[in-house]
């Protein structure tokens, strides 16, 4: 039944990334392990005049695509084309290149940068994408991420997530900071800092707010913070403990866990803190709710069967003890999260004394273990469902890691200092939510 993909770890390839930009913004270093069997060979040629820019565009595109595990980089040896007419196709075909990115940058008199690029099909000698953007120097990384998204989508048929953001908690000494960074770990900013713990980050579906649990009042209280303004409000500060916020897909409601009626039970509250309604009614622990993509059901952790397992119940109707048990392997399955297809979910499975990320099909109940580290927690899907971000530990220090949903590619993202935990992958930016 267990389908671990790590037997092949003998042949695992380790690539250490040199991130090209200023270390000032490099909050996370990224290390990649493994890679898919069918990687697309691609050549990303440095753009004309790119060396004059403070921020290399192609370096970011390259690192984005490489991190996905779906591409193999082929370096240019002699020719450095910037226009389709400069490409010597037979040379590149002989080197097994399928796709090529070429382009040019131009510094405009007003300080803006014009970036032109093309994605070429080397076999068919065709232009697949031809695009141009004019941006400020500060936006060059963002342009590169958008470019990587387009290239990724064109070549894989899937949604690119390079323009998304992640949130996590960085603990340094007695300080806890809620950080929001680009998906590659750059541009990390502190949204709020406390001298008490912060846990359970949850992005609103539109990406404008983050709900979290803080302990500043000597007990767990749920806050919602607006990222653009920094404004925050306690949406659940009931008697007892308040925790485990999870947004409904329409962003109007938040499932929360309260102990005000005794035990830990799941409730539903409006995202402004009004209209409390109880969802579960059991004498056991019911916690870690997560909404299905259609918003009609939640999956959650409960120990009603004697050990913590994942259950599913409908959101409509009155508070109920009735729920369908979904996990049966092992005695500890927690922290569930739906895939955006609604057909699979991930969770943390305890295997002897190890805690690992598992993915399970709702239909076939087939389970696959995706990681084999000692202590993984807080798994969170990228909005394309292809990558899972989670927290793990190396030498007693918390770091972030990511694994592809087929278990083939893993990455570790570590900071220079402190301890990082509780990652949550943000939604697609608004302009791309047509998918």
Partner 1 sequence: MRKILSIALVVLLSACANKTINPDGEEGNQANKGNMSGENTSGSPTVNPLVDPTNILSKRSIYFEFDEYVVSDKYKSMVLSHARHLRDNSNLNIRVQGNTDERGSREYNLALGQRRADSVKRVMTLAGTQDSQIESVSYGEEKPRAVGHNEASWTENRRVDIRYQGE
Report the DSSP beta bridge partners of residue 168.
179
DSSP 279-312: -B--SS-EEEEEE-TTSSEEEEEE-TTSS-EEEE
CB of 311 to partner 1, least distance (A): 13
CA distances from 244 to 117, 122, 213, 214, 335 (A): 44, 50, 7, 11, 10
Smaller CB separation from partner 1, 68 or 265: 265
Smaller CB separation from partner 1, 17 or 332: 332
Q: For partner 1, which stretch binds (CB under 8 A), given 15-23, 122-130, 320-328, 347-355?
A: 347-355
Q: x-or-dash pattern for partner 1, window 299-338, by CB under 8 A?
A: --x------x-----------------------x-xx---
Buried b / exposed e along 30-43 (16+ C-beta atoms within 10 A): bebbbbeeebbbbb
- Dihedral sign for Cα 416, 417, 419, 422, please: negative
Smaller CB separation from partner 1, 395 or 434: 395
Among 197, 251, 273, 295, binds partner 1 (CB under 8 A): 197
DSSP 242-277: EEEEEE-TTSSEEEEEE-TTSS-EEEEEETTS---E
378 interacts with partner 1 by CB under 8 A: yes
Distance between CA atoms of residues 309 and 359, nearest Å: 14
Smaller CB separation from partner 1, 150 or 241: 241
CB of 191 to partner 1, least distance (A): 19
CB of 332 to partner 1, least distance (A): 7
Distance between CA atoms of residues 365 and 359, nearest Å: 10
Is the separation of the CB atoms in 256 and 244 below 8 Å? Answer: yes
218 interacts with partner 1 by CB under 8 A: yes
Is the separation of the CB atoms in 12 and 33 below 8 Å? Answer: yes
Distance between CA atoms of residues 21 and 53, nearest Å: 11
Smaller CB separation from partner 1, 371 or 409: 371
Say which residues have a Cβ less than 8 Å from residue 317's Cβ, sequence separation at least 6.
none
Distance between CA atoms of residues 181 and 192, nearest Å: 13
Smaller CB separation from partner 1, 188 or 244: 244
CB of 87 to partner 1, least distance (A): 52
Q: For partner 1, which stretch binds (CB under 8 A), given 96-104, 184-192, 197-205, 362-370?
A: 197-205
CB of 33 to partner 1, least distance (A): 24
CB of 236 to partner 1, least distance (A): 13
Among 41, 249, 251, 263, binds partner 1 (CB under 8 A): 263
Residues between 126 and 165 that touch partner 1 (CB under 8 A): none
- Dihedral sign for Cα 385, 387, 388, 389, please: negative
Tell me, by CB under 8 A, how many residues bind partner 1.
35
Residues that bind partner 1 (CB under 8 A): 195-197, 199-200, 215-216, 218-220, 239-241, 243-244, 257, 259, 262-264, 285, 287-288, 301, 308, 332, 334-335, 348, 350, 355, 377-378, 396, 422
């Amino acid at each position: 039944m267990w389908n671990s993909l790590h037997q092949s770890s003998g042949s695992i390839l380790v690539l250490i990334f040199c991130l090209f930009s200023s270390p000032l913004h490099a909050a996370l270093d990224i290390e990649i392990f493994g890679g898919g069997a069918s990687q697309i060979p691609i050549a990303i040629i440095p753009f004309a005049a790119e060396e004059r820019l403070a921020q290399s565009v192609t370096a970011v595109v390259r690192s984005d695509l490489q991190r996905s595990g779906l591409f193999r980089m082929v370096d240019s040896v002699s020719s450095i084309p910037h226009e389709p007419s400069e490409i010597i196709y037979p040379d590149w075909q002989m080197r097994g290149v399928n796709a090529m990115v070429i382009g040019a940058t131009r510094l405009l008199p007003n300080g803006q940068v014009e970036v032109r690029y093309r994605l070429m099909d080397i076999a068919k000698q065709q232009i697949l994408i031809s695009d141009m953007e004019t941006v400020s120097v500060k936006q060059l990384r963002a342009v590169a991420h958008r470019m990587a998204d387009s290239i990724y989508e064109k070549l894989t048929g899937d949604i690119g997530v390079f323009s998304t953001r992640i949130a996590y908690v960085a603990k340094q000494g007695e300080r806890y900071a809620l950080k929001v960074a680009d998906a590659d770990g750059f541009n990390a900013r502190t949204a709020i800092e406390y001298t008490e713990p912060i846990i359970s980050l949850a992005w609103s579906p539109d990406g404008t707010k983050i709900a979290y649990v803080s302990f500043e009042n000597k007990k767990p209280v749920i806050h919602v913070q607006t990222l653009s303004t920094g404004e925050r409000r306690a949406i659940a500060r009931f008697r007892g403990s308040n925790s485990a916020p999870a947004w409904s897909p329409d962003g109007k409601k938040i499932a929360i866990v309260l102990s005000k009626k005794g035990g830990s039970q799941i409730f539903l509250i409006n995202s402004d803190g009004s209209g409390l309604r109880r969802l579960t009614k059991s004498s056991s622990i019911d916690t870690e709710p997560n909404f299905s993509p259609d918003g009609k059901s939640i999956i959650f952790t409960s120990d009603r069967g004697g050990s913590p397992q994942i259950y599913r119940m409908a959101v409509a109707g009155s508070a109920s003890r009735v729920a369908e048990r979904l996990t049966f392997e092992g005695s500890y399955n927690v922290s569930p999260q739906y895939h955006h297809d609604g057909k699979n979910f991930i969770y943390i499975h305890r295997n002897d004394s190890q805690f690992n990320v598992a993915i399970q099909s709702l239909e076939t109940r087939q389970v696959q273990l995706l990681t084999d580290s000692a202590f993984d927690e807080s798994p969170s899907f990228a909005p394309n469902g292809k990558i899972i971000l989670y927290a793990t530990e190396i030498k007693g220090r918390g770091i972030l890691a990511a694994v592809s949903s087929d278990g083939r590619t893993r990455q570790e993202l570590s900071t220079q200092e402190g301890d990082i935990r509780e990652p949550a992958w943000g939604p697609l930016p608004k302009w791309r939510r047509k998918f």
